[in-house]
Amino acid sequence: MSENKKPDSVVYDSESGTYNAALLPYASGVGAPRITTPDITSWKQNNINKVNHEIKSQFDQLKAEYDAMVKKFDDNQLVYGAKFSFEPIVGETYHLYQGKDVVFLSVISPQECRWDFLGTYRLTSEKLWEEIK
């Protein structure tokens, strides 16, 4: 063994010429405990499950909003495509019926007529038709 070469168990910094074992953030002695990396697979799996649940919740919320918008669009297409010979008043309630070969809007309630009832709608201030359950 040469004079300049130190054994592996000795922590010597050749650049500064000092022994720096006390400054290391880990144990460097031969009898020191083995350095092992922690097993984080369970931590990863738990967090993956939490993130997936959160993303699925957000997706379900967006899907519900999208379905509501599609329904609103379809309702407006149906009512605006219906036949009516009057100018609807904002806030008033109207009834949609299926007649012979035509869909029409009326002020007559379903209890007072014999046509096939499709739904009850109200015209909002934004000129959108919203269905009344």
Q: Tens of pLDDT along 49-106?
A: 999 999 999 999 999 999 999 999 999 999 999 999 999 999 999 999 998 899 999 9
Residue 61 CA, distance from chain mean position: 6
98, two tokens: 């299926």
Check: CB of residue 106 under 8 Å from CB of residue 113: yes
pLDDT over 60 (residue 1)? no
Judge whether 3 lies within some domain: no
Write down the pTM of the prediction: 0.62
**19 part of a folded domain:** no
More confident residue, 120 or 19: 120
**Does the residue 5 lie in any domain?**
no
Task: Give the other-Cβ count within 10 Å of 83's Cβ.
Answer: 10
pLDDT above 70 (res 9)? no
Within a domain: 33: no
The predicted structure's pLDDT at residue 47: 96
Does any domain span residue 47?
yes
Task: Note whether residue 56 is domain-resident.
Answer: yes
- Give me 113's structure tokens: 């007529």
Domain count, the chain: 1
Residue 8 confidence class, pLDDT cut points 50, 70, 90: low
Phi, psi of 105 (to 5 degrees): -105, 140
**Domain membership flag for residue 4:** no
Q: What is the pLDDT of residue 2?
A: 53
Q: What is the DSSP letter of 35?
A: P
Q: Domain range for residue 120? A: 39-132
Quick check: is 16 in a domain? no
Q: What count of residues does the chain have? A: 133
Residue-level pLDDT at 21: 77
Measure the N-to-C terminal CA separation of the chain; round to a whole number of Å: 94
